[in-house]
Amino acid sequence: MTLAGWIFMLSVWSIVTGLLVWTYWKILKGENSE
């Protein structure tokens, strides 16, 4: 696997995972405050 491949894979995984965690955190925070 090339360096560019690593960069692409880890960047995309980070973006998607970060967005996933953030959206679920917001939802759970909203549910708890209701």
Partner 1 sequence: MQNRERWATRIGLVLAMAGNAVGLGNFLRFPVQAAENGGGAFMIPYLISFLLMGIPLMWIEWALGRYGGVRGHGTTPAIFEYITRKRLFGILGVLGVTMPFMVAIYYTYIESWTLGYSISALMGMFPSVREALAGTSVLEPFNQFFQNYTGMGGSEAFIRPSAMAYVFFLLTFLINVFFVYRGIARGIEILAKVAMPILLALAVVLAVRVATLEPISGHSPLDGFGFLWNPDFSKVFDAQTWLAAAGQIFFTLSIGFGTLITYASYLSEKDDIALGGLSAATTNEFVEVVLGASIAIPAAVVFFGIENTVEIAKAGSFSLGFITMPAIFSYIPLGNLFGFMWFFLLFLAGITSSVALIQPMVAFLEDEYGIKRQKAVILVAAIMLVLMHIPVLMNGALDEMDYWAGTVGLVALAFLELFVFVWMFGVDNAWREINRSAQIKIPIIYKYIMAYITPLFIIVIMVSFAKDLFIKAITFNNPGELAARLLMIGVFLVLAVLYAISRSRKR
Closest-CA residue to 10 (of 27, 34, 18, 26): 18
Q: Does 32 bind partner 1 (CB under 8 A)?
A: no
Q: Which residues contact 9 (CB under 8 A, 6 or more apart)?
A: 1
Q: Does 1 bind partner 1 (CB under 8 A)?
A: yes
Q: How far is the CB of 13 from partner 1 (least distance, A)?
A: 5
Q: Which residues contact 1 (CB under 8 A, 6 or more apart)?
A: 9
Q: How far is the CB of 29 from partner 1 (least distance, A)?
A: 9
- Binding residues for partner 1, per CB under 8 A? 1-2, 4-6, 8-9, 12-13, 15-17, 19-20, 23-24, 26-28, 30-31
